[in-house]
Amino acid sequence: NAGVTQTPKFRILKIGQSMTLQCTQDMNHNYMYWYRQDPGMGLKLIYYSVGAGITDKGEVPNGYNVSRSTTEDFPLRLELAAPSQTSVYFCASGLKDRRGGEQFFGPGTRLTVL
C-alpha cells in the first residue's frame, strides 16, 4: 500500500492564481482531512469528508474548496491564491471508532504564494 499520497510536493503561485492540491489514499478509509501547518502554530483543520459525496468545513475553510467523488481522492482547491495561504498542507485519512481513530498523513505540499 502506498498509504496517503499528495501532489505536488512544492509549488509557488502568484497572487490570484488557482491550483488544486491532490490527495489519494489506498487504504479504503472513509474519513479524509485537509490540514494546514503554519510556522510556530499547530496544524489546523481546513475541510473534512466522511465519505464519497460528503464534505464539511473545518476550522479555517475560507479561500478553499473540496470535493469527494470517490473514496480514494480528496482534492483541495485554491481559487484565488493569497499570501496568507502560504503554508504546508497535509492530507490525512482514517477510520473512526467510538474513540476517534488513528489518522494517516500524506507527505505534505509546501505552497508559497508571492
Partner 1 sequence: KNEVEQSPQNLTAQEGEFITINCSYSVGISALHWLQQHPGGGIVSLFMLSSGKKKHGRLIATINIQEKHSSLHITASHPRDSAVYICAVNSGGGADGLTFGKGTHLIIQP
One symbol per residue from 31 to 70: x for binding partner 1 (CB under 8 A), - otherwise; what is it? x-x-x----xxxxxx--xxx-----x-xx-----------
**Beta strand pairing call for 4-7 and 19-25:** antiparallel
Question: Does 11 sit near partner 1 (CB under 8 A)?
Answer: no
Q: Longest Cα pair distance anywhere in the chain, in angstroms?
A: 43
Is-contact 79 18, C-beta < 8 A?
yes
Torsion angle of C-alpha atoms 26, 29, 30, 32, degrees rounded to 10: -80
Residue 40 has φ and ψ, to the nearest 5°, of 75, 5
Question: Does 102 sit near partner 1 (CB under 8 A)?
Answer: yes
CB of 71 to partner 1, least distance (A): 14
3-class state of residue 106 by DSSP: coil
Q: Which CB, 6 or 85, lies closer to partner 1? A: 6
Q: Which CB, 59 or 79, lies closer to partner 1? A: 59
Cell 488557482 sits at which residue?
18
CB of 79 to partner 1, least distance (A): 22
* Residues found near partner 1 in the complex (CB under 8 A): 31, 33, 35, 40-45, 48-50, 56, 58-59, 88, 90, 96, 98-105, 107-108, 110
